[in-house]
Amino acid sequence: MCSIFCCTTKEVDYKKMLDGFYRTVSRGPDMSRIERTPSGYMAFHRLAIMGLNAAGMQPFSMGKDKLVCNGEIYGFRPLKRRLEELGYTFASDSDCEILLPLYREYGTKMFSMLDAEFALVLYDGQKDEYIAARDPIGIRPLYYGYLADGAILFASEPKNLVGLAEGEICPFPPGHYYYKGRFYRYTDIAAAEEYLPDDVDTVCRNIRIKLTEGVRKRLDADAPVGFLLSGGLDSSLVCAIAARQLGRPIKTFAIGMDKDAIDLKYARIVADHIGSVHTEVIITREDVIAALESVIAALGTFDITTIRASMGMYLLCQKIHAISDVRVLLTGEISDELFGYKYTDFAPDAAAFQKESQKRVRELHMYDVLRADRCISVHSMEARVPFGDLDFVRYVMHVDPARKLNVYGKGKYLLRKAFEGDLLPESILWREKAAFSDAVGHSMVDDLKEYAEEKYGSDWKQIAKKYAYHARPFTKESLLYREIFEKYYPGQAKMVKAFWMPNPHWEGCKVSDPSARVLSNYGDSGK
């Protein structure tokens, strides 16, 4: 992960701007730089992943043009060779350096050409214009806000803009670019106007091929790579595929509470099966409570399920940073949004399932993707998400949703069926889905609820009224999170659309807690 920042005017309090920029130095601890353009400033904190020497430092310049990009451009080497044949020269081995000549050749059309996770700002020196863009899923973070005079600011995280921007700080919409005061959609990754005619066997074969390729791409790094392993289906598949492709032991990491940790035993089974160098981290109630404020400050959200699920991930990444040289972490996010979660078993029909999947994919940048980015980047590492591979996502979104409905007696059937064989033990491949936060240990969520109960009395609803401007807290736990959020991001709750909850319009999903644990079909998931 790196951190980018851009101010499109020089009429700005320079000290405030610098203060905002340096709030995310943990995203890029290797080197920092701020440069002037004729009309503003562009700045960059670097975490060196590709091209580890100083030549890969940004902003990149070509003629009058400048670029800052937090991104991974997959398959950049063939593109680079093509550009070299056109006469362009490069100073570094960085994948992002190809973006300026690509812009010269293709303009804003280049965004739809990229197989990439990226957030960027490009300064066109000929036009004195700033162009910003974000990848189709929003895996790389980007936010914007405005100064009092209307000049736009761009930054990797909202904390960069707090106290600098006037009014609301907004997430940059995924799959869009900004040019001359307007946002333009260049792609909608979740859209599917018609479905593929593929039968189940064909679907499963393509799922296996495309996910395997998605993992392969994300193993390309000049810095050390590690893997988060929960023992659930998704992270286990990523780890097993990577281990087989690399042909050597990979580094896997798992976390659990000191009591009732569900996932640790399953993670150990997977680690033993694939022969990984495995590290277990044990945490306590005291660790969770002590980290709560730091987690919310890092996340920039008040959402209940995001915060719960972040506790273990944050503390695990903190430990990985302290004990290893790992700079890149592969994770299992995005599978649920594509193939379904426990609550999607209640989808009334295929059309409803597809609509819900589209909604969740379009909102990923506010929830699971945000969690993975912040928990990993705040500890100076980069997140890579194979299930977010663009080719993979587009394919799965075009699979007939009737085939994705849980009519098989097992959620995510197509994904499980696709990887039958010796890649994973049967007990893992067909394991019931457990709620992420519960899997760290059922006691963790209970501890957080208990802590909130201790903080507030019977007047908590009255306290919650002051946050009624958006997503009013509805439990003591949600009030606790909101109060911490407002401390660091005052008045900025609209950055998150709403609380992540199961679809309340579906029978069986009218619940008051986001955990799958409260659903009637949870069954053996938490065992």
Q: Provide the pLDDT for residue 413.
A: 96
Q: Mean pLDDT over all residues of the chain?
A: 95
Name all contacts of 474-478 with Cβ < 8 Å and 24+ positions apart.
474/499, 474/512, 475/304, 475/512, 475/513, 476/449, 476/452, 477/304, 477/448, 477/449, 477/452, 478/302, 478/304
Question: Can you name the residues that pair with 256 across neighbouring β-strands?
Answer: 282
* 2 among known catalytic residues: yes
Residue from 160, 252, 305, 344 carrying the catalytic annotation? 305
Q: Calculate mean pLDDT across residues 148-176.
A: 97
What confidence score (pLDDT) does residue 436 get? 62
Question: Is residue 475 annotated as a catalytic residue, yes or no?
Answer: no
The confidence band for 527, taking pLDDT boundaries of 50, 70 and 90, is: low
Q: How confident is the model over 215-244, as a mean pLDDT?
A: 96
Distance CA 165, CA 148 (A): 8
Phi first, then psi: what are they for 168, rounded to 5°? -75, 140
Using CA of residue 262, residue 264, residue 265, residue 269, what is the dihedral sign? positive
CA distance 214 to 394: 12
Reported confidence tier of residue 409, pLDDT bands at 50, 70, 90: confident
Reported as a pLDDT band with limits 50, 70 and 90, residue 434 is low
Q: What's the rounded mean pLDDT across residues 437-466?
A: 91
Give the whole-angstrom CA distance, residue 245 versus residue 39: 48
pTM over 0.85: yes
Residue whose C-alpha is closest to residue 50's, from 113, 92, 3 = 92
- pLDDT, position 515: 85
pLDDT at 481 over 80: yes
Whether 472 is a known active-site residue: answer no
Catalytic residue among 28, 40, 71, 441: 71
The amino acid occupying position 108 is T
Q: Where in the chain is the domain with CATH 3.40.50.620?
A: 200-447+497-526
Q: Of 7, 47, 228, 264, which residue is the catalytic one?
A: 47
Tell me, what's the pLDDT at 472?
A: 97
Inform me whether the pLDDT recorded for 520 exceeds 70: yes
Q: Is the pLDDT score of 399 beyond 70?
A: yes
pLDDT at 405 over 90: yes
Please check the confidence at residue 400 and state whether its pLDDT lies above 90: yes
Among 424, 434, 430, which Cα is nearest to 519's? 434
308 belongs to the catalytic site:
yes
Is 71 a residue of the active site?
Answer: yes
> pLDDT category, 261, cuts 50, 70, 90?
confident
Q: What pLDDT does 213 receive?
A: 98
200-447+497-526 homologous superfamily: HUPs (3.40.50.620)
Which residue of the set 27, 285, 308, 482 is catalytic? 308
Q: Given a cut of 70, is residue 448 above it in pLDDT?
A: yes
Kindly tell me if the per-residue pLDDT of 126 is higher than 70: yes
Residue type at position 211: L
23: tokens are 């709030």
Give Cβ neighbours of residue 357 (< 8 Å, ≥ 6 apart).
190, 337, 338, 340, 344, 397, 401, 404
Q: What is the mean pLDDT of residues 159-181?
A: 97
- The confidence score (pLDDT) of residue 523 equals 66
Q: Are 52 and 59 in contact (CB under 8 A)?
A: no
What is the predicted pLDDT for the residue at 142?
Answer: 98
Residue 525 reports pLDDT greater than 70:
no
- Give the pLDDT confidence score for residue 519 in this predicted structure: 86
| 313: amino acid identity, one letter | M
Local confidence band at 331 (pLDDT 50, 70, 90 cut-offs): very high
* Amino acid making up residue 99: L
Residue 435 banded pLDDT, cuts 50, 70, 90: low
Q: Is the predicted pLDDT of residue 304 greater than 80, yes or no? A: yes
Enter the DSSP assignment of 378: T
Reply yes or no on whether the pLDDT at 47 is more than 80.
yes
Residue 44 is given by DSSP the state E
Which residue did the predictor score with more confidence, 506 or 519?
506
Question: What kind and span of H or E run contains 374?
Answer: helix 368-377
Supply the pLDDT for residue 526. Answer: 61
What phi and psi values does residue 339 have, to the nearest 5 degrees?
Answer: -105, -10
Class of domain 3-185: alpha beta
- How high is the pLDDT of residue 377? 97
Q: What gap in Å lies between CA 173 and CA 187, rounded to an integer?
A: 11
Residue 266 has what pLDDT? 93
Residue from 8, 24, 37, 70 carrying the catalytic annotation:
70
Which residues are within 8 A (CB) of 466 and not within 5 positions of it... i.e. 6 or more apart?
A: none
pLDDT of residue 406: 92
CATH 3.60.20.10 in the chain, residues? Answer: 3-185
Q: Is residue 355 predicted with pLDDT exceeding 80?
A: yes
Q: Answer whether residue 110 shows pLDDT above 80.
A: yes
* Least confident window among 24-28, 75-79, 234-238: 75-79
What is the 8-class DSSP label of residue 302?
-
Per-residue model confidence (pLDDT) at position 26: 96
Q: Is 229 a catalytic residue?
A: no
| In 107-232, alpha helices (H) | 200-217
Percent of the chain with pLDDT over 90: 89
Is the confidence at residue 102, as pLDDT, over 70? yes
